[in-house]
């Protein structure tokens, strides 16, 4: 799979944003230590230079993201292997014109990078998390987070009994995940 395949399979902007919130929240619950997380998201914002064509066609509207310091190296060079964009009025996702090497398997890393964005099932996250974190992961709890249900202590404890909803306050705010209902 390449970024071209991912562009055809991604959901709309709002659905993708919700999925990313869910993935980031699940990782925050399963891995309280930010440094050990696989996914993160802040609703407010591979070594070497990008492959030719990856960011060459990014519209001016999205250039601030290409130049964002979180996505560049110390010299301001974007650190990116794949790039997709979609304007609010677009009917599909876009990507640059990239000439991938013949017979290259996963030439831009899109298979690993976007696997959970393309297979948006709670079961896919469960498989990923059980492998990555080497712990059992409750499928119903994952489904609840995927549905953006407000977090309760009971839900959080199904995924990680060592963390509280209060411990997740900053992550909830940063991801834009729905706020828990207070008693």
Question: Between vectors from CA 17 to CA 110 and to CA 81, what angle results, nearest 5°?
Answer: 25
Question: Between vectors from CA 115 to CA 111 and to CA 117, what angle results, nearest 5°?
Answer: 130
pLDDT, residue 110, reads: 83
Q: Quote the CA–CA distance of 108 and 96 in Å, as a whole number.
A: 12
Label residue 79 by pLDDT band (50, 70, 90). confident
Q: What is the pTM of this model?
A: 0.74
pLDDT, residue 42, reads: 58
Residue 46 has pLDDT above 60, yes or no: no
Q: What average pLDDT does this structure show over 36-58? A: 70
| Residue 25 · residue 165 · CB < 8 Å | no
- List for the chain the helix, strand, coil content (%; round to 5): 45, 5, 50
Of the candidates 169, 173, 41, the residue with the CA atom closest to the CA atom of residue 156: 169
100-148 residue pLDDT tens? 777 777 788 788 888 899 999 999 999 999 999 999 999 999 999 999 9
């Amino acid at each position: 799979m390449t970024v071209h395949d991912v562009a055809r399979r991604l959901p709309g902007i709002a659905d993708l944003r919700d999925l990313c919130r869910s993935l980031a929240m699940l990782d925050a619950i399963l891995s309280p230590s930010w440094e050990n997380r696989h996914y993160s998201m802040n609703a407010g914002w591979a070594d070497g230079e990008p492959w030719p064509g990856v960011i060459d066609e990014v519209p001016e509207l999205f250039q601030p993201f290409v130049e964002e310091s979180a996505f560049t190296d110390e010299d301001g060079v974007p650190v990116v292997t794949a790039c997709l964009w979609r304007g609010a009025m677009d009917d599909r996702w876009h990507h640059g014109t990239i000439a991938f090497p013949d017979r290259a398997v996963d030439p831009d890393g899109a298979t690993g990078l976007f696997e959970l964005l393309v297979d948006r099932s709670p079961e896919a996250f469960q498989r990923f998390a059980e492998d990555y974190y080497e712990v059992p992961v409750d499928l119903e709890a994952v489904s609840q987070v995927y549905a953006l249900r407000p977090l309760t202590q009971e839900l959080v404890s199904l995924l990680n009994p060592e963390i509280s909803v209060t411990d997740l306050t900053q992550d909830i705010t940063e991801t834009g995940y729905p706020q828990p209902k207070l008693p």
